[in-house]
């Protein structure tokens, strides 16, 4: 079928571009550029979510990762430097070990993945997934505990990060 192969072409193009930008994120010397490539990666992953019929996940990805976390990372990069360019090598002397570990990991996982017969795609998604998600998040038989615990966790993260990042009175 024609429509089927169109989805596959889009997937291949987006996936390759995303992996390429991710490669730039982990290798580029200039950290601001790395952060901007990270944004491109995150956007590519949002497109992958769209391909998976998870529109809500795609928008959340853009609101949270690109709109919030990426901005935070760019701020942090700028706060922790004295010059515009990053000079000197950006990887430590064990970089070859990292390469080997990552390559072995990827090879092992992908041989494992391709040796399994995965289920084919079940039919189209029925109903509004956002609605179902909203109900399950406050349903006592489902995920109400993770939901409330997540809010407590975020408060703890807020308190911790503010305590750490707020300049102390004595350091002024």
Q: Which of residues 64-93 bind other proteins (CB under 8 A)?
A: 64-86, 89-92
Place of tokens 């550029």: 33
Which of 7, 17, 141, 170 is in the footprint of other proteins by CB under 8 A? Answer: 7
Both tokens of residue 156? 């703890």
Rounded CA separation 56/154 (Å): 21
Stretch 11-30 residues interacting with other proteins (CB under 8 A): 11, 15, 18-19, 22-23, 25-26
Counting residues that bind other proteins (by CB under 8 A) gives: 129
Please check whether residue 77 is in contact with residue 32, taking contact to mean a CB–CB distance below 8 angstroms.
Answer: yes
Which of 13, 17, 121, 170 is in the footprint of other proteins by CB under 8 A? Answer: 121
Residue 117 beta carbon to other proteins: minimum distance, rounded to whole angstroms: 9
Rounded CA separation 60/68 (Å): 11
Residue 122's Cβ-side half-sphere holds a number of Cα atoms within 13 Å equal to 2
Cβ count within 10 A of residue 76 = 13
Rounded CA separation 90/79 (Å): 18
Residue 142 beta carbon to other proteins: minimum distance, rounded to whole angstroms: 7
Stretch 91-120 residues interacting with other proteins (CB under 8 A): 91-92, 94-95, 97-99, 101-103, 105-106, 109-110, 113-114, 116, 118-120
Stretch 138-157 residues interacting with other proteins (CB under 8 A): 138-139, 142-144, 146-148, 150-157
């Amino acid at each position: 079928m024609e429509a089927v192969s169109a989805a596959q072409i889009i997937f291949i193009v987006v996936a390759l571009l995303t992996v390429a930008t991710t490669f730039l994120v982990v290798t580029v010397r200039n950290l601001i550029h790395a952060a901007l490539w990270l944004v491109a990666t995150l956007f590519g992953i949002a497109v992958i979510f769209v391909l998976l019929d998870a529109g809500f996940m795609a928008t959340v990805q853009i609101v949270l990762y690109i709109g919030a976390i990426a901005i935070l990372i760019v701020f942090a990069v700028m706060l922790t430097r004295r010059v515009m360019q990053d000079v000197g090598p950006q990887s430590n002397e064990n970089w070859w070990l990292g390469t080997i570990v990552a390559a072995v990991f990827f090879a092992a996982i992908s041989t494992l993945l391709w040796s399994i017969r995965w289920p084919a795609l079940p039919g189209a998604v029925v109903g509004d997934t956002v609605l179902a998600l909203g109900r399950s998040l406050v349903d006592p038989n489902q995920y109400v505990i993770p939901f409330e615990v997540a809010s407590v966790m975020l408060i703890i993260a807020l308190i911790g990060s503010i305590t750490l990042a707020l300049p102390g009175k004595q350091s002024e």
